[in-house]
Structure 1
Amino acid sequence: MLRFGVESLVGLIPVIGDFAGVFLAVTYMNTIRRRFDVPPSIVSQMTINIAIDFCVGLVPILGDLVDTIFKANMRNYALVENYVVQQRKAAAAQDLEAGRGNGGGVQEPRPGYFPDVPLRFNAKTAAKTAIMGRH
């Protein structure tokens, strides 16, 4: 079964939909970049994914089909998720080495190390954090 998101549906509107998709993708990327302090190397990979998605999406009909399959936002999500998981593992290992562990149980992150934002950051959690006044 082929799943598709809002960006794929918006992309069906000629030209305007593609620009709206880029706007949404860049907004999402900037929000995630600030939340999780993503390094420039990952931001550049995310930007390339968005650019490919935009350029391919400009091609009528075929571009919309490829755009639905390419899923730049899901690729960007995977990049950030892998980065955050690695950073959390490194922080937990550092805490264990420094003797800040909690006796073999679940590692609590250091205060302020990662924002209080769920890893599954979607439209619902974005709206919730915006309402709560977090940036």
Structure 2
Amino acid sequence: MVTGAGGETAHHSAKTRARLDRLAWLLDSAIRLPGGFRIGLDGIIGLVPGVGDLVAAGLSSYIIAEAARMKLPGTLLARMGLNVLLELLVGSIPVIGDIFDFAFKANKRNVRLIEAYLEKASLGR
């Protein structure tokens, strides 16, 4: 059986990557607004005063946890963590932070980082 990054089977890795991509889409882009701009549940959850941004960061942390299970490098995990932390900190600022939440899309950024790393790793074999 072919193994990928972190010793995962290629099939499991593809399933995990598809699940993470779907979650990132749901959190960052699932709702189309007039004019074509897309928002997700992350920004909507973040509108809840006090705990919304923490809950959204918790959901975003799942993507990082899965990347860690895939045994991706610590530097990549740290960069992903900084994306989530930035979204959490700026997102906690009333109004401006909410707009930032809708635009920054940390989850999609993090899934792209995973994909880019795995693509580079597969070419380096």
Q: How does 1:1-135 map to 2 (within 5 A)?
A: 1-35=36-70, 37-91=71-125
Deviation at 1:58, TM superposition (A): 0.4
Offset at residue 38 of structure 1 (A): 0.9
Q: Distance in 1 between matches of 2:105 and 2:57?
A: 12
Moved over 3 A (4+): none
Q: CA deviation at 1:33?
A: 2.3
Question: What is the identity, as a one-letter code, of the residue corresponding to 1:66?
Answer: F
* Matched residue, 1:130: none
In structure 1, distance between residues paired with 2:63 and 2:110:
10
How big is the shift at 1:32? 2.5
TM, length-normalised to structure 2: 0.68
**Counterpart residue number, 1:110:** none
CA deviations on 1:71-130 (whole Å, 9 max, x unpaired) are 111111111110010111112xxxxxxxxxxxxxxxxxxxxxxxxxxxxxxxxxxxxxxx
Which amino acid is 1:26 matched to?
S
TM-align CA RMSD: 1.0
In structure 1, C-alpha distance between the alignment counterparts of 2:111 and 2:62, rounded to whole Å = 13
Q: How much has 1:14 moved relative to structure 2?
A: 1.1
Q: Deviations over 1:48-74 (max 9, x none)?
A: 101100001101111010111011111
> What is the CA–CA distance in structure 1 between the aligned matches of 2:90 and 2:106, rounded to whole Å?
11
Q: Give, in whole Å, the separation in 2 of the partners of 1:75 and 1:33.
A: 16
* Larger proportion of helix: 2
TM-score (norm 1): 0.63
Q: How many residues align?
A: 90
Structure 1: tracts of 5 or more residues without a match: 92-135
